[in-house]
Structure 1
Amino acid sequence: MTATDSLSAWLRVRREVDWQRAPALRRAAPDRDGFRSWCEGPVRRRDPLRAERLLAAHARAREDAVRRTPLNFALLAGWQREVLAVERAPFRAGDAWAKAGRERYGLTPHTRADFDSCLYEATDPAVPPAARAARAYLDVAFFHPFDDGNARAALLLLVHVLAREDIVLPEVGPLQTTRYADDPAGAADLAVLIGVLNRRR
């Protein structure tokens, strides 16, 4: 029996969450860039090459934030080429699976365009930055656009969305917990967690 399409579940949840309730964030950057610290610490200890690739992608994502580069799949694919050290990072060509096969992310002729629409919303000033960053992170998690490295792409996008608002989190490790496509409370809690981390010094 085919698993339920978790991407469809996420798109429903995405509409249900009251993103306006996300906490306000401080725009002053902390002394420590949590993404860089994460790369230089646990990632480098585990795999120095992986750390270097992530740092290169992070530099590009930050530069794109400063330039206010339009946010779309092509931009993410450029970062992902750095992350994976590949010449191409195309949108997946079939259904994707995660969580040992418990979640399936379907593919239709509209999936790529739907993803770009969601990315466009990540720059909507009418939505609080914490909500936009959380929602964009989950968009990558549940659209699962790449064949590999989606968790890294999601974190890079979250950092990029905040950087567009001159916000830098001093810590990112706690963001990397398992999320479920059909969990509206969990989606809202991710925005709250971003607010908590924003206040850490």
Structure 2
Amino acid sequence: MTATDSLSVWLHVRRQVDWPCAPTLQRFPPNRDGFRFWCEGPVRLRDPLRAERLLAAHALAREDAERRTPLDFALLAGWQREVLAATEAPFRVSDAYAKAGRERYGLTPRTQADFDSCLRETNDPDLPLAARAARAYLDVAFFPPLH
């Protein structure tokens, strides 16, 4: 039996959510960076090189955010190349699976275009930042665009 296409389910749910009603985010000072804390602590203990790569990608992401660089696949791929120390980070070319194959994220001829469209919505100033951030996080999780 083929696993349900979790990407299709996410896209259906995504259209149903009342994103404008999301709460506003409380801004924290830059010295309260949970990701950096995680990388400097448990990640560095397990794998110092991985910690360095994650922190380098994190620095790129923060610089891009400060420049207000629009979120798109090319930007994400650049961060991923930094994490993997790779020369390429292409969009996936087949279905993706998680949880020992129980979850499937289908690939159609429109998947990359749909992902790009979803990422463009992160620039919608009419939606609360919390909604845009949550949606972008879930888009990356359910599309898994990178290998």
TM-score surpassing 0.5? yes
Structure-1-length-normalised TM-score: 0.70
Task: Give 1:100 deviation, angstroms.
Answer: 1.3
Aligned pairs for 1:1-201 (under 5 A) are 1-27=1-27, 29-147=29-147
Sequence identity percentage: 78
Task: Give 1:9 deviation, angstroms.
Answer: 0.4
2:129 partner amino acid: P
| In 1, Cα distance between equivalents of 2:57 and 2:30 | 21
Deviations 1:7-28 (A, max 9, x none): 0000001111122232212335
| In 2, Cα distance between equivalents of 1:106 and 1:18 | 25
1:130 partner amino acid: A
Structure-2-length-normalised TM-score: 0.95
CA RMSD of aligned residues (A): 1.2
User: Which sections of structure 1, spanning at least 5 residues, go unmatched?
Assistant: 148-201
Task: Give 1:108 deviation, angstroms.
Answer: 0.8
Number of aligned positions between the proteins = 147
| In 2, Cα distance between equivalents of 1:34 and 1:70 | 23
| In 1, Cα distance between equivalents of 2:29 and 2:19 | 23
Deviations 1:114-167 (A, max 9, x none): 1011111112111111111111111011001111xxxxxxxxxxxxxxxxxxxx
Instruction: Give the match's secondary structure for 2:87.
Output: coil
User: Which sections of structure 2, spanning at least 5 residues, go unmatched?
Assistant: none
| In 2, Cα distance between equivalents of 1:30 and 1:87 | 30
Instruction: Give the match's secondary structure for 1:25.
Output: coil
